[in-house]
Each structure stands twice: as structure tokens, then as C-alpha cells.
Amino acid sequence: MQEVDIILEGGTILTLDDSDTIIPSGAVAIREDTIVAVGPRSDVAGRYRSRTVVEATNHVIMPGLVNAHTHAAMTCFRGIADDLELMEWLNKYIFPAEAKNVDPELAYWGSMLACVEMIRSGTTTFCDMYIFEDETAKAASLAGMRCLLGEVLFDFPSPNFKTPDEGLACTKNLIEKWAKDPLVRITVEPHALYTCSEGLLKKSKALADRYGVPLALHLLETKSERESLAEKLGCSPVKYLHEAGLLDENLVAFHGVWLEAEDIAMFARSGAKVAHNPESNMKLASGVAPVPDLQAAGVTVALGTDGCASNNNLDMFQEMDTAAKLHKAFRLDPTVMSAGTVLKMATRNGARALGMGDEVGALQPGMKADVITVDFNSPHLTPVYSEHSHLVYCASGADVDTVVINGRIVMRNRKLLTVDEEEVMERVNRIARRIRASLGM
């Protein structure tokens, strides 16, 4: 009998491996930060024992969700400006609010609130772009969340740096500071083609290549963005990225709403990835990304919530439901974006897009122990004919019961074990009062 640190047992296991294996009445054994066994409960019980056993009967045991694009600290701006077009929302409300209010305190407590919200709704990994990202890294590390994050880079000053070169230096420092952390990884993140010069983009790419980290940016979120960039660049924005040497397997493009057939073919050939954000794109009326076409071409498409100022929550279960239904309605085809497809986008494909496909996103021996249990003992999840269907079309983040990240239980029986939620909410409410005063609200 081998000793392990945690055993989750009794629930139906969705491994989300390449064969999409489902194990009724299964068990997952965890030693330190790694899954050592996944199988029928009786088999695992015959080989492993642990002082910490999570009883998960009537639960689904599955990989933690991967939020492939968000702006964590923007929880502090949740609901500050709704029902607006993207550029008006950014230029008249968000950028001014950020210029007056974003500082290390806001970045830390806003990110901590995001971590609380994500853990409570089953997200174990997130990809973040914002300002003062060292504070987001500190918050994620303390909360026990896995993340890939980068300081947003602009041609113009941000609250954290005065010049693009200072922003690049900040990113370099983040890469080196967090290089050995088990949970925090750094990416290089120029904001977008319309806010970054070719020089900044190429320096960003060089920095990412030097350290072997991903490069990520917003791309083709709106029709007007595509039209203005095509006029400015003299070619399609994706062709521009290709000719500038940025379009390769290390690129993650957020949104991609207005990708066209030629762009999709270039993404497929290059191995570049896309993070789909349906609720934010719907709320800002940006359009509907060609996700079924991307998937048909073999492009890895992940799922993200975007930030709380444009969504307005971080619940990936809600995002899955929206993603599945949006494309069915838009294509007038109920067969596109099946529950299984969308569930993979929120787990395995999210991990692959962020360069973590060999570590998280599925439950297999040797992978990192990022595991959640979802309580199916509820009226809205009864009866069960398909776990995939219920997770995408019926469940919400509130159904998540237990969350394990990197072999550590961070929530059990809906109780968060790493963070004082009341303190976090009080701190963010205090910051919100300052934001209201600064904007004359």
C-alpha cells in the first residue's frame, strides 16, 4: 500500500484525455503536486491510502478550468460602464478610470478578488494581461492559483511605466523574478496592433523568444479595428504579423472576432492559438468569432472570460454555456460547438494554448494535480444522461464543491482555505469608493 497526500473518490471522473475516458465511481490519487493514479475507486483503494480523502459521491471529478484571457484586477471596475461600443468604452471610461486609479493596491486587491471568484467557480489556471502584474502574481501565489501573466505594453505611458522600453524592462524583471515559481509564469503582452508600434512588437517578440515564453496580444476584436488597421498597414493585420515574424506557435491571440479565411489558414499553418471570449464580444457588440472555422482548420481555440469590466463575471461555466449556444444561433446549426467540444476548450485546449498542455487540462498520471469536483446532487442537475451536457448547459460555478491546485486543496465544501474572502471584498469596496470619487460618480 502506497502513501499519497490526497485521494478524491466516489465521483464520476471525466479525464478529458485524448480518448475522453469516463470512469464511474472513480478515484484520483495525488502525491505532492502530481497525479499518481486515476481509475476505478476499488482499484485505487487497493493500491493507495491517504489521511486526506475527499468523498465525491454524486459529484463529477474533472480537470480544473482554464481561463485563457482575463484582466484580473479589473474586478475593481465591474459594472462601471456598460452598454457601450468597445472604443468608446475604452477611451471615454476605462482608460481615464485606470489613469486616475490604478496603482499597486488596486492591482493586488482586485486580482485577489478575481482569484477568489475564479476558485469558487472552478477555474484553476488563468492568463492575465494588466498593469502592475507583479501584484497580480503575488495575489495568485498567495491564493494558490496557477497563472500565466504579463505587464500590458503600450506605445504611451501606463500607470506603471513611462516609456515602452520601461515596460519591456518590467516584463524582463517579472520573467526573471518568477522563473522558479511553481504556479506563476510570465508572458510578453503588447496590448494590440492599434496601441503598439512595429518597433515595440518586434522588441516584444525578441524578449519572448529570448526567454522561451509565449507572446500574447488582443487581435481583431472589432470590425472597425480590422478596417483601420488594414488601411494603416496596407495589408491584413494577420499578414502583417506574419511578415513581422510574430505569427508562430508561441503566439496567443485574444478575441480574433474578425479573422477571415486567409487569416485562419495562416493561423493554422503557423500553429498560433486563439482565446475566444464570447460574452465580452456579445456585450460590446463586437461580433461573433469564426470559432467553428478555426477548429475545422486545426487551430487550437481556448476559452476566456475577458475582464469583469466587459463581461461582467469570471464564471467559466457560464462562458461555456454561452459559447455553445452563441455559435449554434449564429450559424443556424445546432450541431456546431457540442458540449464536449466546448468543455475541451475550457480545459485541455486552454492548457495547450498557454503552453501547459503537458501539465494541466486533463486527469492523467504524471500531470499536475489541478482537480475540481462539481456537486451533481441538485434539482437542476437531475437526472444525468450526459455529464458533458450538464456541465456546459446546466451547471454554474456555484456547483463547484472542492478545488485542488498543484496538489493543494484551496477550497473544500465551498469553503475557501487560502484567502479571507471578507477582507478581500472589504478592501475592494474601499477602492471602489475612491474610484467613484475620482470620476465624480
- Grid cell digits, residue 223: 470590425
Please determine, for residue 92, whether its predicted confidence score (pLDDT) is greater than 90.
no
DSSP state of 161: B
pLDDT of 206 reads 98
Q: d(Cα 318, Cα 116) in Å, to the nearest integer? A: 17
CATH topology agreement for domains 2-63+365-416 and 65-353: no
pLDDT of 94 reads 85
More confidently predicted of 247 and 87: 247
How confident is the model over 37-70, as pLDDT tens digits?
Answer: 999 999 999 999 999 999 999 999 999 999 999 9
- Distances 143 to 118, 186, 244 between C-alpha atoms, Å: 10, 17, 38
- Grid cell digits, residue 393: 448547459
Contact predicate 146/410, CB 8 Å: no
CA angle 83-230-193, nearest 5°? Answer: 65
How confident is the model over 124-179, as pLDDT tens digits?
Answer: 999 999 999 999 999 999 999 999 999 999 999 999 999 999 999 999 999 999 99
Question: How does residue 257 score in pLDDT terms, banded at 50, 70 and 90?
Answer: very high
What percent of the chain is predicted at pLDDT more than 90?
Answer: 93
> How does the average pLDDT of the chain come out, rounded?
97
What percent of the chain is predicted at pLDDT more than 70?
Answer: 100
Q: d(Cα 286, Cα 107) in Å, to the nearest integer? A: 27
pLDDT of 96 reads 87
pLDDT of 242 reads 97
Rounded to an integer, the average pLDDT of 318-337 is 98
Beta bridge partners of 403: 372, 411
Lowest mean pLDDT among 73-77, 98-102, 394-398: 98-102
Rounded to an integer, the average pLDDT of 222-244 is 96
The residue type of 286 is S
Q: Where are the domains of the chain?
A: 2-63+365-416, 65-353
Please determine, for residue 28, whether its predicted confidence score (pLDDT) is greater than 80.
yes
How confident is the model over 336-390, as pLDDT tens digits?
Answer: 999 999 999 999 999 999 999 999 999 999 999 999 999 999 999 999 999 999 9
Q: Three-state SS across 45-86?
A: HHHEECCCEEECCCEEEEECEEEEEECHHHHHHCCCCCCCCH
pLDDT of 90 reads 81
CATH fold of the domain at 2-63+365-416:
Urease, subunit C; domain 1 (2.30.40)
The CATH number of domain 65-353 is 3.20.20.140: yes
Burial of 105 (0-12, 13-18, 19+ CB in 10 A): middle
- Distances 141 to 107, 135, 150, 181, 182 between C-alpha atoms, Å: 14, 10, 15, 9, 9
